[in-house]
Structure 1
Amino acid sequence: MKLLNKFFVCIILLTGIGAFTSITSEAAEFNFAVTPQIPDNQLDKSKTYFDLQLSADQQQELTVNLRNDTDQEVVVEAQISSATTNSNGVVEYSKNEIKPDPSLVFDLKDYVEAPSELLLPPHSESPYKLTIHMPNEAFKGIIAGGITFQEKIREDQTSSSTNTTGLAIKNEYSYVVALLMRQETDNGIPDLKLVKAGADQVNARTLIYGNLQNPNPVYLNQLATHMTVKAKGKDEVVYENRQTGMQMAPNSNFNLGLPLNGERLSPGKYVLKIDAYGQKDENSAFIFVDSDGKEEHYQYNWQLEKEFEVKADEARKLNEGDVTVKKDFTWLYILIGLLLLLLIVLVIWYRKKHAKK
């Protein structure tokens, strides 16, 4: 399900992974610049993020140049995070609230030593140095994550960000440089599991979700899905949705959503089926048909299925909280009709009683 994001994303690096800049205020401006220094063991030196091949137990120092072109000193905060997958099927390399997947064995932050902040004097450039350490065991896969650089907000900046209406505007903006570590160039193949299914609500809109997990330490690229929901024991498809262009980080999970688009959710037992495809390959036999009827060939295919139940009180709460569901006022119309009917009967009875007198 595509959610409405209230921030702009300025891409520094594309191709699904890499460094990017996120701006969460229209008025935000960067007071510092970031330039990764690519080492010799970079797999593809044309990339401006770190994608390194190391041997087991190898340590290496990396450098990111930070530049301050302003007239004031800037304090840059840095944080290391493992890569995750958000609810839009997009890989995130910055700090977030997504919990690590249970299959994650090597969390990137446990294998990186780096200062938490760096002071940049006015009109200066300073190296930010970090030490990475490959686990001391044979590992076939990718340890993926990123380094988030964000300016530390001073107290005077916070107080001056209140506008004339008294509304506090918090400007937050950051650079994120992806950091990938691997021992081999052949990192295996991805996998896909349907861990859980159910009904939920996001942005006051009800959806059916399937929690998808990639338990392997490798990216699942170009993920496409066809979701269908049937009542248990029935052949009729109740809800259906197709999505393309998603990606999953190594050892991550996310809730793939099927929006109900204003339809009321009925209580009962359901069966969710997900026909999933990964990595486009014109020479492969697996064919996915998108919502426009276009056919694409994919290298991987998974047929996933999970039963779930929606209880009556859960369905009622979801329907009441969904802003797109048309409210059912049938009971109110019936009540008004009964009251009118009762009023008519009373009027007739009263007039007949007084007519006899």
Structure 2
Amino acid sequence: MQNVTLKIHTSLFKKSFFLFSLITILCFLIPVNTYAEGEESNLSVKAELPDNQLTKDAGYYDLEVKPGQTQELTLKVYNMGDKETTAKIEINPAYTGASGSFVYALDASKRDESMTLPLSDIAKTDEFISIPAKSEADVKINLTIPTEPFEGIVYGGIRVTDAEGEKEGNSKSEKEDSGFSIANKYAYTIAMRIRENEELPKSDLKVKKILASQVVGRNAVKVNLQNPTPTIIDKVTYDAKIMKKGSSDVLHEHKVSNYRVAPNTNFDYAISWDNKPFEAGSYQLEMTAKSEVTGQTWNFKQNFTISAKEAKELNAKAVDLEKDYMKYIIYGSIGAAILLLLIIILLVTLSKKRKKKQRRKKAKGKRPANKKGKEARNGSGRQPSGAKRKPAAQSGKRKR
């Protein structure tokens, strides 16, 4: 009986442990997918440089102007295709991209609060122009300089795209599961820099905010940097480190060089979390930015916090996230130990109940036999005390 009980205990333990292991393994599985494409255009562009051009051999406009000045500029647009097409013309401020280059695709509604005079307020043109097949057309850009003098540089670009391609859907923006948006629009941009004199104010950089975020679906901390001055900051090297608050151990680090910052813009400098999950807590940023052109250095030291809610939401969306397997091993071991302890307690309890039941059955089986034996002994022995004895039988009758 003991062997049968032991086999049952062993079988239950094996099945329970196998089930727990299977559930633990199934918790580690995750998939990912990306996609992108683009199309070329039959358009090309060329800037016709005016007399007030400062950089004579440049392929962009670099103009010195005076307060209240008006001027007409010419931009040539070429159509190399076999049919007539329509070009869309946009004049936008220059923004600083996350990769340290200039971006001209956003209008002035996205500008930084320090940008008081966007290029689109100074330069105007028609939104569309038709160009015959295998031909060219002139885009006229009208400059109106404010009568109030301005400081530094007004910077932006003239962006030319194929409007026919837009109508056909070639410019449709595709948003992938990773959170990365790609526009299929093929655009040409001619930069435009306008200033009233060559003396520029001193450049500056500031940290506006630090937040936990993602880049192409991967966890990263973004440091939002601002250039509040009307100057271009060139050849910038950034070196950023993140530590736990109060610790000197570097958790994550990112260093880049040859970045540019457009005037009066802000941008996100991303520090990868190295495919690790965010953990709620307080952190410290130590960052240095240095411009080889101006010789300026900016040092930043700032605390920030990642909340439990932010960490949970971002980790749930993150792709290629490395799991903290040691944590799972510890939790799994604790769970397995608790499960094993519960199984042992259950088996011991069942075993005790079974033995108790067997003892009761044995006791019930012995009780009737003992009673009969006692009665037999009482019948064959002496009479109990107090019982009346029967008189002895007489051998003959008594004579009267």
Post-superposition Cα deviations, 1:24-66, rounded to whole Å, max 9, x if no partner, equal 51xx232222121111111112111111111111111111111
User: How do 1:177-192 and structure 2 match up within 5 A?
Assistant: 177-192=190-205
SS in 1 for 2:279: coil
2:256 corresponds in structure 1 to: 243
Aligned residue among 200, 220, 224 for 1:207: 220
Q: Does 1:306 align with 2:319?
A: no
Is the 8 Å Cα contact of residues 91 and 124 (structure 2) preserved in structure 1?
A: no
Mapping of 1:1-357 within 5 angstroms?
25=38, 28-95=39-106, 99-153=110-164, 157-158=168-169, 171-280=184-293, 299-328=295-324, 329-330=328-329, 331-332=331-332, 334-351=334-351, 353-354=353-354, 357=358
Q: Per-residue CA shift, 1:282-334, capped at 9, x if unaligned? A: xxxxxxxxxxxxxxxx7111112222222222223333333343335343554
Between 1:64-73 and 1:112-121, the stretch displaced more is 64-73
CA separation of 1:333 and 1:196: change in aligned 2, threshold 3 A: same
Deviation string 1:98-156 (CA, Å, 9 cap, x unpaired) is 82111001111111110000011222221111101222222231100001101113698
State the alpha-carbon separation in 2 of the partners of residues 231 and 93 from structure 1.
37
Larger fraction in strand? 1
- CA shift for structure 1 position 87: 1.7
The answer to whether the 8 Å contact 1:79/1:149 transfers is: yes
Equivalences, count: 310
Alignment partners' CA distance in 2, 1:263 and 1:170: 29
In 1, the alpha carbon distance for the partners of 2:277 and 2:218 equals 11
Instruction: Say whether the 8 Å CA contact 1:84–1:98 is kept in structure 2.
Output: no
Distance 1:222 1:351, change over 3 A: same
Q: Is the 8 A contact 2:90 2:127 kept in 1?
A: yes
Give yes or no for contact 1:220–1:279 (8 Å, CA) kept in 2. Answer: no
More displaced 10-residue stretch of structure 1: 209-218 or 344-353: 344-353
The change in CA–CA distance for 1:322 and 1:156 in structure 2 (over 3 A counts) is: closer
SS in 2 for 1:299: coil
Larger radius of gyration: 2
- Could you tell me which residue of structure 2 aligns to residue 286 of structure 1? none
What is the aligned-residue RMSD (CA, Å)? 2.8
The one-letter code sitting in structure 2 at the alignment partner of 1:71 is D
Seen in structure 2, the aligned counterparts of structure 1 residues 265 and 104 have a Cα distance that, compared at 3 Å, is same
Please tell me whether the aligned partners of residues 68 and 125 of structure 1 are also in contact (alpha carbons under 8 angstroms): yes
> For the Cα contact (< 8 Å) 1:61–1:132, is it kept in 2?
yes
For residues 109 and 237 of structure 2, the distance between their equivalents in structure 1, rounded to whole angstroms, comes to 22
Residue 247 (structure 1) shift: 0.7
The runs of 5 or more residues in structure 1 that have no matched partner are: 8-23, 162-168, 281-297
Contact 2:87 2:164 in 1 (8 A): no
Runs of at least 5 residues in structure 2 that lack an aligned partner in the other structure: 1-33, 173-181, 359-400
Deviates more, 1:310-319 or 1:205-214: 310-319
Structure 2 length-normalised TM: 0.70
Report the more deviating stretch, 347-356 or 204-213.
347-356
TM-score, normalization: structure 1?
0.78
- Tell me whether 191-200 or 75-84 shows the greater mean CA deviation: 191-200
Distance 1:202 1:98, change over 3 A: farther
Aligned to 2:9: none
Percent of residue pairs bearing the same amino acid type: 31
